[in-house]
C-alpha cells in the first residue's frame, strides 16, 4: 500500500467528508470547543472514563424475539401482519424440507455415493427461510454455503439441487467444476458460492453499490450477504462492512451466529459482544435477533431491508442460532462438544417445532398434514436423488470452458489437444482413465476426435 503524504486542507477533514456524504444539508460549522479535534464532533468531558460496550447502559446487546418456545407471541411482541395462513404454511414447508434433504444427503454421502456434503442449515432453518421470505426474490444474494433454503425459496428445484451436488451433465450451477453445495444461479439472483470464507462480504458491498447506480433497481433492491460468525473474523468481513458503510451501499449483512466454526466455539472466535457489536463501529444500523424464531427473523430482516433500500445504506442483522448438525461429512462434532448439549438444543429450542406450534395454535396446520408433508417431501427428495445419481458427468471438453471468456489462450488450446492425444492413446488401456471416461457424457470422444 502506498504511504500517503498528502497534506489535507482543513476543508477536507474527515468530518467534512463524512457530513457531505451522510447529510443532504449544508455542512455545519464546528462548535468552538472542538477546534482542537478537527476530525470528530465528540463532546468534550473532563472525567477519564473507558468504555467497552455499544449499548447506552453498558449491558449486552438485546435479542429481538416474537415467539416463545411454545410458539406463543411474547409479551409486547407484534406479529408481522402479512404472514397469512398461506405464507406461513409455505414457510413451514420450506423449513421442513431442509433437514429432510440434509439427512438423505448425509446418509448417501456416508454410503460413498457423493464425494462430500457440507451439512445443511440444521438448526438454522428459521434464519434462512425467515430471511428469504422477508427479502425480495430479485434481491442479490451472496451466500456462504448453508443458504440452500434461500435459493429453493426462490424456485430452485430439488432436481437442480441434486444435479448440482452430483456435478452431472444437468448441473445448472458449475457444470461439475465445483464441489457439492457450491450453488449459484443467475436466474435466481444467487451469486456462486466459493469455499474461501468471507470473500463474498466485500463483494456484496460492490454488488450493492452497483444496484444503487442502476436506475432500474435503485431504491428497489439490495444485496443480501450471509456469513457465519467464524467468517466474520476474516479481514474481508471488516473490509466489507467498512466499504458498504463508507461508500454508502444498500448491503444487508446477515450473520448466522451458530456458535461454532467447525470445532472452534464462538467464545474462542471473539471476546466482544458477538457480531452485532461491530455494526455501530462502522456506523451501520444493527439488530440482534433470535435466529430460531422465524417470525422475529422475518420482521427484523423485513425492516432491515426497508432501511437498506430506502436509505441506500448498509444494515447488519445478527441471528443467534445453534448448529445442530456436524460441520460437514468430514466432521464428528461430538469430539469437541457434548452430545447431550446438542440433544438438549434439538429438544428445547427447535426452530421447526416452535413455528409448528404457532401454526397449530391458529389451526393453520395439523399433525396429519405434518405427516403427509414429510412423507411427500421424503419421496420427492429420494426421486430427485435417484434421477440425478444416474445421469452422466458433463462432457470432458467442458473442463476447459470458462477459464477465460472470449478468445482462448494458446496454452489452453494446446493443453486440450494434449489431453485429447493422451486419451486417444491410453484411454482404452489405462484402467483409471478407462473407467472414468465411461462416466462422462460422450466418453471423451469430443476431445479425442475434435471437429476441425
Residues that bind another protein (CB under 8 A): 109, 115-118, 145, 167, 174, 176-182, 194-197, 230-231, 233-236, 261-264, 268-270, 326-332, 335-338, 393-394, 396, 398-400, 403, 411-412, 415, 419, 422-423, 425-426, 428-436, 444
User: Which of 359/448 has CB closer to another protein?
Assistant: 448
- Minimum CB separation of residue 258 from another protein in Å reads 12
The β-bridge partners of 286 are 316
- Minimum CB separation of residue 83 from another protein in Å reads 34
CB 420 within 8 A of CB 414: no
CB 183 within 8 A of CB 148: yes
> What is residue 196's three-state secondary structure?
coil
Phi, psi of 297 (to 5 degrees): -60, -45
Residue written as grid cell 486419451: 423
- Minimum CB separation of residue 195 from another protein in Å reads 4
User: Which of 36/435 has CB closer to another protein?
Assistant: 435
Cα separation, 124 vs 351, whole angstroms: 8
CB 104 within 8 A of CB 158: no
Residue written as grid cell 460441520: 327
- Minimum CB separation of residue 232 from another protein in Å reads 8
Cα separation, 94 vs 80, whole angstroms: 19
User: In terms of Cα–Cα distance, which of 76, 138, 79 is closest to 305?
Assistant: 138
User: Which of 130/172 has CB closer to another protein?
Assistant: 172
- Minimum CB separation of residue 301 from another protein in Å reads 24
User: Which of 306/425 has CB closer to another protein?
Assistant: 425
User: Which of 36/335 has CB closer to another protein?
Assistant: 335
- Minimum CB separation of residue 177 from another protein in Å reads 5
In eight-state DSSP terms, residue 350 is -
User: Which of 231/300 has CB closer to another protein?
Assistant: 231
- Minimum CB separation of residue 179 from another protein in Å reads 4
- Minimum CB separation of residue 401 from another protein in Å reads 9
Residue written as grid cell 414447508: 93
User: Which of 3/335 has CB closer to another protein?
Assistant: 335
User: Which of 229/293 has CB closer to another protein?
Assistant: 229
Amino acid at each position: 500500500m502506498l504511504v500517503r503524504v498528502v497534506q489535507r486542507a482543513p476543508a477536507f477533514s474527515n468530518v467534512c467528508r463524512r457530513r457531505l456524504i451522510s447529510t443532504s444539508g449544508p455542512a455545519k460549522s464546528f462548535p468552538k470547543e472542538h477546534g482542537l479535534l478537527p476530525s470528530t464532533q465528540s463532546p468534550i468531558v473532563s472525567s477519564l472514563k473507558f468504555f467497552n460496550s455499544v449499548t447506552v447502559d453498558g449491558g449486552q446487546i438485546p435479542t429481538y424475539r416474537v415467539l416463545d418456545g411454545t410458539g406463543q407471541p411474547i409479551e409486547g411482541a407484534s406479529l408481522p401482519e402479512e404472514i397469512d395462513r398461506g405464507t406461513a404454511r409455505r414457510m413451514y414447508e420450506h423449513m421442513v424440507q431442509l433437514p429432510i434433504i440434509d439427512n438423505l444427503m448425509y446418509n448417501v454421502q456416508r454410503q460413498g455415493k457423493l464425494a462430500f456434503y457440507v451439512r445443511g442449515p440444521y438448526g438454522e432453518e428459521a434464519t434462512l427461510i425467515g430471511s428469504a421470505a422477508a427479502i425480495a426474490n430479485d434481491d442479490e444474494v451472496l451466500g456462504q454455503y448453508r443458504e440452500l433454503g434461500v435459493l429453493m425459496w426462490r424456485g430452485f428445484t430439488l432436481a437442480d439441487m441434486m444435479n448440482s451436488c452430483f456435478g452431472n451433465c444437468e448441473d445448472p450451477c458449475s457444470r461439475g467444476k465445483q464441489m457439492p453445495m457450491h450453488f449459484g444461479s443467475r436466474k435466481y439472483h444467487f451469486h456462486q458460492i466459493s469455499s474461501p470464507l468471507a470473500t463474498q462480504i466485500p463483494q456484496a458491498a460492490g454488488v450493492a453499490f452497483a444496484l444503487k447506480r442502476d436506475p432500474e433497481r435503485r431504491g428497489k433492491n439490495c444485496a443480501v450477504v450471509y456469513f457465519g460468525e467464524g467468517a466474520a473474523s476474516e479481514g474481508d468481513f471488516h473490509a466489507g462492512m467498512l466499504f458498504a458503510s463508507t461508500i454508502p451501499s444498500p448491503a444487508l449483512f446477515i450473520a448466522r451466529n451458530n456458535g461454532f466454526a467447525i470445532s472452534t466455539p464462538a467464545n474462542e472466535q471473539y471476546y466482544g459482544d458477538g457480531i452485532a457489536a461491530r455494526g455501530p463501529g462502522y456506523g451501520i444500523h444493527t439488530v440482534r435477533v433470535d435466529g430460531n424464531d422465524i417470525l422475529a427473523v422475518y420482521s427484523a430482516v423485513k425492516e432491515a431491508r426497508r432501511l437498506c433500500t430506502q436509505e441506500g445504506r448498509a444494515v447488519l442483522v445478527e441471528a443467534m442460532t445453534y448448529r445442530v448438525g456436524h460441520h460437514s461429512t468430514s466432521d464428528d462434532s461430538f469430539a469437541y462438544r457434548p452430545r447431550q448439549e446438542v440433544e438438549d438444543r434439538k429438544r428445547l429450542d427447535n426452530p421447526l417445532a416452535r413455528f409448528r406450534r404457532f401454526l397449530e395454535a391458529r389451526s393453520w396446520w395439523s399433525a396429519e398434514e405434518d405427516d403427509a408433508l414429510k412423507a411427500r417431501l421424503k419421496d420427492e427428495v429420494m426421486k430427485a436423488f435417484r434421477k440425478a445419481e444416474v445421469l452422466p458427468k458433463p462432457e470432458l471438453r467442458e473442463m476447459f470452458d470458462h477459464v477465460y471468456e472470449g478468445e482462448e489462450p494458446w496454452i489452453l488450446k494446446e493443453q486440450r489437444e494434449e489431453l485429447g492425444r493422451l486419451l486417444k492413446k491410453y484411454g482404452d488401456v489405462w484402467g483409471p482413465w478407462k473407467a472414468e471416461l465411461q462416466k462422462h457424457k460422450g466418453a471423451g470422444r469430443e476431445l479425442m476426435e475434435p471437429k476441425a
